[in-house]
Amino acid sequence: MSNSLATVFVDRIRSVVGHQPEPIGLHVPEIGELEKKYINECLDSTFVSSVGAFIPKLEERMQEITGARHAVAVSNGTVGLQVAMFLAGVEPGDEVVIPTLSFIATANAVSHCGAHVYFVDSETTSMGMSADSLRAALESFTRSGSSLINPATGRRIAAIVPMHTLGHPVDIEAIVAVANEYGVPVVEDAAESLGSFVGSKHTGTFGLTGMISFNGNKIVTTGGGGVILTNDEVLGKRAKHLTTTAKLAHKWEFEHDEIAWNYRMPNLNAALGMAQLDKYPRYLEQKRRLAAKYQAAFEGVEGLSFVAEPAGTTSNYWLCAIRLDEPSLALRDELMSAAHEAGLLVRPMWNLLHQQRMYQAAGRADVSVATDLHASLICIPSTPALAEAV
Ligand SMILES: Cc1ncc(COP(=O)(O)O)c(C=O)c1O
């Protein structure tokens, strides 16, 4: 039975991506003449580091795309998330609520703030943080003045960090509503969701602060990079100040007014990013068309279903995914092996964060939905150009 399911799995992917000689990667960046042109312009300018014309251009473009009042370019998404949490008030010794089903950076950014993670569950449709699991966790904590304290650790709950999984918007409005009830700020890990909206509002702009990643595997890449998003005037200015060594503007004096970071995105990376952003509307259109093709290809396949965007949202379909109707690590791995043998470089979800050795002692809610999702999801080739393969 599973053997034939593995065959069907491979065949249905092949029906969309065609028969190419090379192994087909999960998400391969498209680097062309425009990238080379902008990078050469950057090289010719000699402004290759943290000052240069491409950086503010990229920030402006990101403000246009997301509608955020401030977009601050940084050297990668992980440090962007760390600063986004810092700006939201996360301090050493605090606790931050995150989903266990996420990439390691979500938890590491908390640790880099000197804070501790508390894991909550996911919900099935978006695969992201469950507002119910969040509410149950916050209800189990105690109030002390204006703070919320985890009685098991005595730590203050300083932020809630939902993540938009594989580009599909989490139920962010419900999460923000719960967070507001308890007076805890929301920091959005929108690393994967450039081009994903809830209604007409871009992901990453619902919380106090947010972050989008431009890692090489994302829909738009700067090589390494990211942006911090916020609508808050003070935090926007502070994000730029803190990520550029807190240097006071002066023609020659090196006066800095606090201990800060050198997290600015280099101009060289921003040049690459601007070429990618010029092409991003096409990438987005292709990714959504590719998703529609996969959805049709897996229609009616017993035991497997295509992961579609949640109702009321528009997903960038960063990574298309197939879900086993019954969670099974054995079957998941069998399907993945068959795909790899056929040259299709599919991959599972990340190992759950509460099972990673650094985070096994952290507090957590019941995470059975995330556990099932981990055992039932397979990400399939999602490079935009695959939309034109067949
Ligand atoms: C959910 C999530 N959070 C954070 C990050 C960190 O971004 P970066 O790789 O740019 O540091 C990534 C991606 O890499 C991610 O997928």
- Whether residue 303 is predicted with pLDDT greater than 80 in this model: the reply is yes
Q: Give residue 22's pLDDT band: very low, low, confident or very high (50, 70, 90).
A: confident
Share of the chain above pLDDT 70, in %: 99
User: Which candidate, 138, 224, 211, 227, places its Cα nearest to that of 174?
Assistant: 138
pLDDT mean over 76-97: 98
Token pair belonging to 63? 């403000």
11: amino acid identity, one letter: D
- Taking the CA of residue 214 as reference, the ligand 1 atom at the shortest distance is 10
Domain residue limits, the chain: 2-26+279-388, 33-276
Cα separation, 314 vs 288, in Å, equals 9
pLDDT at 21: 77
Q: Whose CA is nearest to atom 8 of ligand 1?
A: 77
CATH hierarchy code of domain 2-26+279-388: 3.90.1150.10
- Whether residue 2 is predicted with pLDDT greater than 60 in this model: the reply is no
pLDDT mean over 216-222: 97
Token pair belonging to 282? 């096409």
pLDDT at 1: 47
User: Which candidate, 196, 382, 214, 195, places its Cα nearest to that of 287?
Assistant: 382
What separation in Å is there between the alpha carbon of 78 and the centre of ligand 1?
A: 6
Mean pLDDT, the chain, integer:
97
The backbone torsions φ and ψ at residue 188, rounded to the nearest 5 degrees and listed phi first, read -90, 125
For 201, counting Cβ atoms within 10 Å of its Cβ (0-12 exposed, 13-18 middle, 19+ buried), the class is middle
pLDDT mean over 288-298: 98
DSSP labels for 84-114?
A: HHHHTT--TT-EEEEESSS-HHHHHHHHHTT
| Residue 361, C-beta contacts closer than 8 angstroms, at least 6 positions apart | none
Rg (CA), the chain: 21
Residues near ligand 1 (Cβ within 6 A):
76-78, 81, 102-103, 105-106, 163, 189, 191-192, 213, 215, 226
User: Which candidate, 120, 92, 110, places its Cα nearest to that of 363?
Assistant: 120
CATH top-level class of 33-276: alpha beta
pLDDT at 36: 98
Is 65 in contact with 194 (CB distance < 8 Å)?
Answer: yes
| pLDDT tens track for 88-131 | 999 999 999 999 999 999 999 999 999 999 999 999 999 999 99
- Taking the CA of residue 81 as reference, the ligand 1 atom at the shortest distance is 4
On the question of a common fold for 2-26+279-388 and 33-276, the answer reads no
For 388, counting Cβ atoms within 10 Å of its Cβ (0-12 exposed, 13-18 middle, 19+ buried), the class is exposed
What separation in Å is there between the alpha carbon of 285 and the centre of ligand 1?
A: 23
| pLDDT tens track for 131-149 | 999 999 999 999 999 999 9
**Which of 112, 192, 196 has most ligand 1 atoms within 8 Å of its beta carbon, as the pocket-test mutant?**
192
| pLDDT tens track for 227-241 | 999 999 999 999 999
| pLDDT tens track for 159-205 | 999 999 999 999 999 999 999 999 999 999 999 999 999 999 999 99
| pLDDT tens track for 186-198 | 999 999 999 999 9
| pLDDT tens track for 340-356 | 999 999 999 999 999 99
- Whether residue 245 is predicted with pLDDT greater than 60 in this model: the reply is yes
- Whether residue 3 is predicted with pLDDT greater than 70 in this model: the reply is no
Cα separation, 276 vs 255, in Å, equals 36
Is 164 in contact with 203 (CB distance < 8 Å)?
Answer: yes
pLDDT at 20: 80
Q: Is the pTM of this model over 0.75?
A: yes
User: What is the dihedral sign for C-alpha 350, 352, 358, 364?
Assistant: positive
- Taking the CA of residue 217 as reference, the ligand 1 atom at the shortest distance is 14
Cα separation, 24 vs 46, in Å, equals 37
Q: Whose CA is nearest to atom 7 of ligand 1?
A: 77
User: What is the dihedral sign for C-alpha 296, 379, 326, 105?
Assistant: negative
- Element (H or E) spanning 188, and its range? strand 187-189
Cα separation, 198 vs 172, in Å, equals 8
What separation in Å is there between the alpha carbon of 4 and the centre of ligand 1?
A: 35
pLDDT mean over 251-278: 98
What separation in Å is there between the alpha carbon of 54 and the centre of ligand 1?
A: 22
pLDDT mean over 362-370: 98
Token pair belonging to 48? 């290759």
What separation in Å is there between the alpha carbon of 105 and the centre of ligand 1?
A: 6
pLDDT mean over 80-88: 98
Cα separation, 311 vs 319, in Å, equals 18
